[in-house]
Structure formats: C-alpha cells, structure tokens
C-alpha cells in the first residue's frame, strides 16, 4: 500500500462545440467570469467614491470641507489681507475662505486717490499736482453696500497678509479708534 491519499474529483472539461469544418471553440463556463465581474464592480465603486470625495481625499482647493478661515497666520501678521483683483483694484480686509470658489472679505477698506489739499497757494496744473491717497471704509458709497464682499476666485490675482506695523493696518486701526478715515502717507 502506498502512503498517498487519492481524492476523486471530477475533472472539469470545457464544453466544446463544433463551428465549421473541423474548427472547435471552447465555451467558457459562467463560474470563470464571476471573479472578473466582482473585480470590475469593486473598481467602479472605488472610482465613483474617489470622484465624489476627491476634495476631502486630495485637498482640492474649493472643494467641500476645505473652506474655512486662514489656517496659518505668519508671525507679525495683523489678520488683515490685501486682495489684488484683475481690474487693478485692491481691497483690504479680513479674508475668511481663501480656498473657495468665492472668497469672502469682511471689514473692507480700499484706497481712493484725490487731489492734495493745498495751503491756499495757486492751483497747480493737474499734471504736476500731488495726489493724496486716503483709505476709505466700504459702506458709505451711494449704493450702500454691506461691509462684506464675495469675490470670484477668477478675478483675484493674489492676496497677501499685512503686517501689524504697516501703514494700511495702522490707518485701519486709527479709523476704528477715532471713527474717521485717515489718509495713508504716499511713498
């Protein structure tokens, strides 16, 4: 007697059917397709899940869950930002959600250029007249806007944090303390 154990298993023979004169085709049984179908379903579910949650998984700017306040404020920063737009306008304020499709700016100021107030001397020509730059609080314009602005990301060139000891932040803090907008010294 031998030490071998023999198991009688039925041999699975592929079905064969005749096609044309002597050519035969192997028919694949359904049980061999099942693992591939399961694998395909799993891959499709994973791709659909990655597509739906790509913002959370990969940190795509503007995706759901990534909107929020500025995360890291540099040392010496005031909490105010300068937002530079494609039309040349610059707004100063507190940026709330810089990674969203629409940035939200609160406590808004902007620069206004006007003629320098003289000391009573003769009026200078407009080409040689000095210009006075003043910081204006948003909200007192003719159309009466609310002191909050939603800016399309497509219209923003860049934004930067303002230092606490910068001239604009000093003028903003002076305006808040006194209630009057102070001129910003021109350089």
Residue 108 tokens, joined: 């808004």
pTM higher than the cut 0.75 = no
- Residue 110's domain comprises 77-119+128-178
91 and 174 housed in the same domain = yes
Instruction: Look at residue 183 and tell me if it is in a domain.
Output: no
Residue 52 is predicted with a pLDDT of 79
Give the count of domains, the chain.
2
Instruction: Look at residue 164 and tell me if it is in a domain.
Output: yes
174 and 135 housed in the same domain = yes
Mean pLDDT of 87-111: 89
Q: Which residues pair with 152 in a beta bridge?
A: 102
Instruction: Look at residue 105 and tell me if it is in a domain.
Output: yes
CA 146 – CA 75 distance, rounded (Å): 30
103 and 144 housed in the same domain = yes
Higher pLDDT residue, 76 or 155? Answer: 155
Q: Are 140 and 52 in contact (CB under 8 A)?
A: no
Residue 121 is predicted with a pLDDT of 41
CA 101 – CA 175 distance, rounded (Å): 31
50 and 108 housed in the same domain = no
Decide: residue 133, CB within 10 A, 0-12 exposed, 13-18 middle, 19+ buried: middle
Each residue's pLDDT tens digit, 133-149: 888 888 878 888 888 89
Share above pLDDT 90 across residues of the chain, in percent, rounded to a whole number: 17
72 band by pLDDT with thresholds 50, 70 and 90: low
Instruction: Look at residue 187 and tell me if it is in a domain.
Output: no
Instruction: Look at residue 157 and tell me if it is in a domain.
Output: yes
Instruction: Look at residue 21 and tell me if it is in a domain.
Output: yes
Report how far apart the first and last C-alpha atoms of the chain are (Å, whole number).
107
Q: Are 24 and 16 in contact (CB under 8 A)?
A: yes
103 and 136 housed in the same domain = yes
Higher pLDDT residue, 23 or 78? Answer: 78
Instruction: Look at residue 66 and tell me if it is in a domain.
Output: no
Mean pLDDT of 120-129: 47
CA 135 – CA 131 distance, rounded (Å): 13
107 and 167 housed in the same domain = yes
Q: Are 25 and 19 in contact (CB under 8 A)?
A: yes
- Report which listed range, 6-20, 30-44, 63-77, 111-125, is most confident: 30-44
Mean pLDDT of 142-168: 88
Mean pLDDT of 25-42: 74
172 and 95 housed in the same domain = yes
Residue 67 confidence (pLDDT) above 50: no
Which CATH number covers residue 84?
2.30.30.100
Residue 30 is predicted with a pLDDT of 54
Instruction: Look at residue 100 and tell me if it is in a domain.
Output: yes
């Amino acid at each position: 007697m031998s030490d071998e154990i023999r198991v009688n298993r039925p041999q699975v023979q592929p079905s064969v059917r005749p096609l044309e004169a002597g050519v035969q085709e192997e028919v694949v049984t359904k049980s061999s397709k099942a693992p591939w179908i399961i694998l395909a379903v799993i891959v499709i579910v994973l791709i659909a899940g990655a597509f739906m949650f790509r913002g959370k998984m990969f940190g795509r700017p503007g995706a759901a869950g990534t909107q929020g306040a500025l995360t890291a404020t540099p040392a010496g920063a005031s909490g105010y930002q300068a937002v530079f737009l494609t039309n040349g306008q610059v707004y100063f304020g507190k940026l709330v959600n810089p990674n969203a499709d629409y940035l939200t700016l609160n406590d808004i100021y902007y620069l206004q250029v006007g003629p320098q107030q003289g000391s009573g001397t003769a009026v200078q020509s407009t080409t040689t007249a000095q210009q006075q730059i003043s910081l204006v609080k948003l909200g007192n314009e003719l159309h009466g806007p609310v002191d909050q602005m939603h800016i399309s990301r497509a219209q923003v060139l860049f934004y930067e944090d303002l230092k606490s000891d910068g001239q604009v932040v000093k003028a903003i803090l002076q305006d808040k303390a006194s209630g009057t907008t102070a001129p910003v010294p021109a350089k």
